[in-house]
Chains A and B, each alone.
Chain A
Amino acid sequence: MDKNELFKTAALAKLKLDDEEADKLAAEVSAMLDNFSAMMEADVEGLEPTTQTLQKENRTRSDSTGSSNLSNQLLDRVPEREDRFIVIPNVM
């Protein structure tokens, strides 16, 4: 993978990379992609993909309310807030 592709991928992942780190990661990502290419030899003709091995159907739960008393504790862990609002930098 060239560095251009790497930076494009990093932007999609919301990950800033500095130049030095990008050189190292580009080499490592390429080595792993080479390793992934071994899959091309596998004969997967006629095989269905497996996403879950034991549970084949979707499972739903009842649409009902429950109580959670965690909200204040979760808000206490927010890096920056005003009252019960989470503060982030200006969007515009």
Chain B
Amino acid sequence: MSDIKRWAKALTESADSYKKYVGSWEEKIGSFLQFDPEAAQADSSGQGLLAVIPFGVKDNIAVKGFNMTCGSKILENFDCPYTATAVENLQKAGAVPVGKMNMDEFGMGSSTDNSALAETHNPWDTSRVAGGSSGGSAAAVAAGQVPFALGSDTGGSVRQPASFCGVYGLKPTYGTVSRYGLTAYASSLETIGVCAETAGLTRDVFKAMRGKDIMDNTTVEYKPSGKDDVETVAVLKAGEGDLNVDVLRSYKTSIARLKDLGYKTVEVELPTLKYVVPAYYVIATAEASANLARFNGIRYGLAAQGAETPSALMEETRHSGFGDEVKLRILLGTYVLRSGFQDQFYHRAQKIRTAILNDFNRIFESADALMMPVFPTAAFRHGSSDLTQLQQKAADLYTCSANLAGLPALAVPSTIEEGLPVGVQFMAPAFEEERLFRIAEKLEAVFPAQKPEGYSQEWKA
């Protein structure tokens, strides 16, 4: 899109008005934890596909020159000494990280309300959440503060906020983007992903940041089949009990559009879907309990004062440094891994993981891609008045299945319902991201991402 050329002025000839524009949105939505276009500008090549394009980085991804807080008090003042491979790859392509985006603490949440450091609001309606956990990333893109922002997706944390804010959100195939520099939450599920304002930019960013990396032994060779065109799209059956009325209407619109665009659609079911949320939370919390053991007040981050033993130092630091949701997940993860409980929880969850993968493989035998909802509701209000924390977790079913299976998935803006954007999600076999981009571009020609009131790229604010 030609829009990207205009973005190249944000840090050069339009720098002053661009900064003012970002600042005026910051007062309304609070998407950034840190905004400083100069902090890492010298580390970008300044030339390439994304030359001088500003972007945001979720605050659990390392960028030298910025802090890395993970939205937590335990890392509140952590000055990051190195840069994640994915960010470095984008810097080589010319892009410039301009700030760190707010998030649910350590990526644990669906609203960004679990950030211990700041509040983020949805640019479409500031009484509502931007989604999470990459809420700051999605909100900033929707408001036109940056054309794209990196997030991390462990169970839907890029796609759900993208859907809530009306932008594109990609969770790549597991292992295609290096996790070096991403603060680990659930290592076997999570990937660095991207929120972006167009389908084409989502593709460009993915291509620039992916690649095998000696610093991450789970990265793999990129080996797509070469069959990029999509003819048949499987459509997950969803009805009134599954989605709220607005999202169901939006979903039906997407089905009709696919048919209008000439795709062959086939309705399918995923028998394992009802088990994916418990399986996902067992695996995610188990891995989190191990990964978050490193935050103990000894080597970096917060350290409790006055502790008299090493154990007391750890216990006190974690007590005062972690928020409620993080404590809940550490306790759950520790419990399911306790001796005697592993067969009942962790091993069973891993077998369900095989079952959902088998479900997807069966669908992809006769379809090139699969369409699913992203989330059963549009952006909900702050607090638990619309959805309790438990309901928010249960609502992860459509997104977390892609993480369990390691497959690529893309959230695409589909409609505006009652003034709020609603997205839809496409999944494909491993390495077939190009199929997702092609469907998204065809849909984009019919329905491009809409902009909230106050959006501008003229930076005259």
Q: Which residues of A contact B (CB under 8 A)?
A: 1, 5-6, 9-10, 12-18, 21, 24-25, 28-29, 31-33, 35-42, 44, 47-55, 59, 61, 70, 73-74, 77-80, 86, 88-91
Identify 25 residue pairs between A and B in the complex whose beta-carbon atoms are under 8 Å apart, listed by A's number.
A6-B331, A13-B318, A14-B293, A14-B318, A15-B315, A15-B330, A16-B316, A17-B319, A28-B328, A31-B390, A33-B332, A33-B335, A36-B278, A39-B279, A39-B348, A40-B344, A48-B354, A49-B354, A52-B218, A52-B406, A53-B405, A53-B406, A70-B81, A77-B79, A77-B81
Does B303 lie within 8 Å of A16, measured CB to CB? Answer: no
In this assembly, does B307 line the interface, its C-beta being within 8 Å of a C-beta of chain A? Answer: yes
Q: Which chain B residue has the least Cβ–Cβ distance from A62?
A: B214
The one of A9, A18, A38 in contact with B331, judged by C-beta atoms closer than 8 angstroms, is A9
Flag whether B225 is at the interface (Cβ < 8 A).
no
Residue pair B328, A29 in contact (C-beta under 8 Å): yes
CA separation between A39 and B354, bound complex, in Å? 13
Are A29 and B331 neighbours in the complex by a CB distance under 8 Å?
yes
Query: Chain B contacts of A16 at CB under 8 A?
Result: 315-316, 318-319
Q: Residue B314 contacts which of A14, A25, A37, A50 (CB distance < 8 angstroms)?
A: A14
B274, A38: Cβ atoms under 8 Å?
Answer: yes
How far is it, in angstroms, between the C-alpha of A88 and the C-alpha of B312 when the chains are bound? 11
- A67→B124 CA distance, assembly (Å): 48
Whether B299 and A89, one on each chain, are in contact in the complex, defined by CB atoms closer than 8 angstroms, is no
Q: Which 10 A-B pairs have the closest CB atoms?
A: A53-B406, A49-B350, A79-B303, A44-B351, A16-B319, A16-B315, A73-B81, A50-B353, A13-B334, A47-B351
Question: B-side interface residues toward A, CB under 8 Å?
Answer: 78-79, 81-82, 173-175, 188, 214, 217-218, 220, 272, 274-275, 277-279, 281-282, 289, 293, 296-303, 307-316, 318-319, 322, 324, 327-328, 330-332, 334-336, 338, 344-345, 347-355, 357-358, 389-390, 393-394, 404-407, 430
> Which residues of A lie under 8 Å from residue B79 when comparing CB positions?
77
Bound together, the chains give a CA A53 to CA B109 distance in angstroms of: 24
Q: Judging by beta carbons under 8 Å apart, are A35 and B315 in contact?
A: no
A30, B233: Cα distance in complex, Å: 40
Taking CB as reference atom, which chain B residue is nearest A28? B328
Q: How far is the CA of A1 from the CA of B188 in the complex (A)?
A: 27
CA distance A82 to B16 in the complex (A): 45
A21 touches B327 (CB 8 A): yes
> Which A-chain residue is minimally distant from B358 (CB atoms)?
A47
- CA of A42 to CA of B357, assembled, Å: 14
Q: Is the CB of A10 within 8 A of B354?
A: no
A44 touches B348 (CB 8 A): yes
- Shortest C-beta distance, B335 to chain A (Å), equals 5
Bound form: Cα–Cα A4–B21 in Å: 53
A54 and B274 CA atoms in complex are apart in Å by 23
Residues of chain B within 8 A (CB-CB) of A79 are 297-298, 300-303
* Cβ–Cβ contact A80 & B303, under 8 A: yes
CB closest chain-B residue, reference A77 = B300
Q: Which residues of A contact B188 (CB under 8 A)?
A: 51-52
CA distance A48 to B358 in the complex (A): 11
In the complex, which residue of chain A has the Cβ closest to the Cβ of B318?
A15
